[in-house]
């Protein structure tokens, strides 16, 4: 997402001919968009996106469980020691 933000800022600065970016080549100005595409392709093929989504879902699930336990007056479940 940061790459897209930088890309939009660079694009506006280049188009409006503001500051140092006005002298940059269009290839350099548009490169954050290409890097964003590469990032998304890597994230999807490596499973990074799916892993992060599963982690967020697990955090939401655990938060619901903790909230319901607190509402019932129960203590948070203790982690079990392995070994």
Predicted TM-score (pTM) of the model is 0.63
pLDDT one-digit tens code per residue, 49-75: 888 889 999 999 999 989 998 888 887
Return the higher-pLDDT residue of 69 and 77: 69
Give me the residue spans of the domains in the chain.
2-72
pLDDT one-digit tens code per residue, 6-49: 999 999 999 999 999 999 999 999 999 999 999 999 998 998 88
Neighbours of 29 (CB within 10 A): 20
Q: Report residue 49 as tokens.
A: 């996106």
CA distance 59 to 49: 16
Q: What is the DSSP string of 7-59?
A: HHHHHHHHHTT-TGGGGS-HHHHHHHHHHHHHHHHHHHHHTHHHHHHHHHHHH
């Amino acid at each position: 997402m940061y790459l897209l933000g930088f890309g939009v800022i660079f694009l506006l600065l280049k188009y409006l001919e503001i500051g140092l970016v006005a002298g940059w080549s269009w290839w350099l100005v548009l490169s954050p968009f290409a890097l964003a595409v590469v990032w998304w392709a890597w994230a999807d093929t490596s499973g990074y996106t799916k892993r992060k989504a599963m982690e967020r879902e697990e955090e939401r699930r655990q938060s619901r469980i903790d909230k319901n336990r607190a509402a019932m007056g129960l203590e948070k479940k203790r982690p079990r020691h392995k070994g």
